[in-house]
Amino acid sequence: MSRVDIPSNDELAAKGFANGALYNAARPDYPLAAIEHFVDTFALSRSTYALDLGAGTGIFTRQILPFVGRVTAVEPSASMRASLREATPDVEVLEGSDVAIPLTDAAVDVVFAAQAFHWFDAPRALVEIHRVLTPGGGLGLIWNERDESVDWVAALSRAMRWDTQQPYDVGTDYTQAVAAGPFTDVERVKFVHVQSLTREGLYQRVLTTSYISLMAHDPLEALMKNVALVVEELPEPIAVPYVTNVYTATATVTGPHGG
């Protein structure tokens, strides 16, 4: 796949996550310290109603669920929703998107987006998120990003062509983007995280990458051969290091237009 063959972000978001079961099995969870940061910042309790927007297969949903009273998960991908329902039958799962949340105004106390906000139409999404939040409600964003300061991780990223085909710039600071919406008190915090995988598990993790999942057979085979040159040199279990970026913000009480 050449540079000109890179799918658009809309195509990646729509088609790049069609295998919910694989994604659920291969993707990492989030560091407990980051979850506790959300709990403390938003004073989460059994009376809290949370929305997980762009919930995927519910990896984050299941981690935040013990700290709140209720979670609704909204996800556009049918495959992801199916995996989420199977793994988390007690959570309400709805079809929707960043700009079309199927909830009433001021319905939830806090909205989370895990590994998802970079797919959002940020200006429109932030207004829509604000709509469903109670006045002064919370917004929490979280990403796991591979720690490329580690040599073998950087080599893996090059083998994956992440340097040329990544759908967003890793390490992007979204503080100003969130602050430009109807939100205040925007803060960014970083955590470290590790995922333990077998070699086969790491191959599966690579295959969940959006643009890789859309590759035709021949370019995919060539890419995975390069990935294998890195992976086969690693002793098992493989500790995959991540930097976890977390953002918290508070919904303005007056609304997006001061009304």
For the chain, the structural domain boundaries read 3-147+168-195+241-251
CATH number 3.40.50.150 is the correct assignment for the domain at 3-147+168-195+241-251: yes
Q: How confident is the model at residue 3 (pLDDT cuts 50, 70, 90)?
A: very low
Task: List, for residues 59-93, the tens digit of each pLDDT value.
Answer: 999 999 999 999 999 999 998 899 999 999 999 99
Separation CA 233–CA 53 (nearest Å): 38
Predicted confidence (pLDDT) at residue 19 exceeds the cutoff of 70:
no
> Comparing 233 with 22, which gets the higher pLDDT?
233
Bridge-based pairing state of the strands 238-251 and 133-146: antiparallel
pLDDT for residue 234 is more than 90: yes
| Maximum distance among all Cα pairs of the chain, rounded to whole angstroms | 60
Checking if the pLDDT of 47 tops 90, the result is: yes
26 pLDDT band, cuts 50/70/90, is low
Q: Of the candidates 155, 84, 149, which has an alpha carbon nearest to the alpha carbon of residue 114?
A: 84
pLDDT of 185 above 90: yes
Cβ atoms < 10 Å from Cβ of 235 = 7
Residue 251: pLDDT band by 50, 70, 90 thresholds? very high
Query: What residues are paired with 71 via a beta bridge?
Result: 50
Q: Is the pLDDT of residue 45 over 70?
A: yes
Q: Are 250 and 162 in contact (CB under 8 A)?
A: no
Instruction: Quote the pLDDT of residue 189.
Output: 98
